[in-house]
Amino acid sequence: MTVYKIKNEDYNKIKGQAYAPDMHFNPIADINGNWVISIEELNGIVYPEFLYLSEQQCEEVDGEQVCHYVNVEPIEYQPAPPPPFPTK
């Protein structure tokens, strides 16, 4: 599953904040300690203070328009292992 890596300073800025009415960012850490958000969060941003996260740059490649995000990096999600199960 592809998720979008955000910078640590963006994590601190967006954690728990609303990006649309009744929708809040919930960044999670992957196994490598990267903070990531989902494509649903990224595509759902409507509040101006967070639109920079979904900013795209487009270019023409072989006659087709190709776009990529400027401020987030698509990566394959690698979940962190769950905590050990309590024995007592």
Domain spans of the chain?
Answer: 2-76
The full DSSP string for 18-68 is EEETTEE---EEBTTS-EEE-HHHHHT--SGGGGGGG-EEEEEETTEEEEE
Q: Tokens for 33? A: 């300690």
Give yes or no for residue 88 having a pLDDT over 80: no
pTM of the model: 0.87
Q: Are 79 and 7 in contact (CB under 8 A)?
A: no
Per-residue pLDDT of 25-82, as tens digits, reads: 999 999 999 999 999 999 999 999 999 999 999 999 999 999 999 999 999 999 998 8
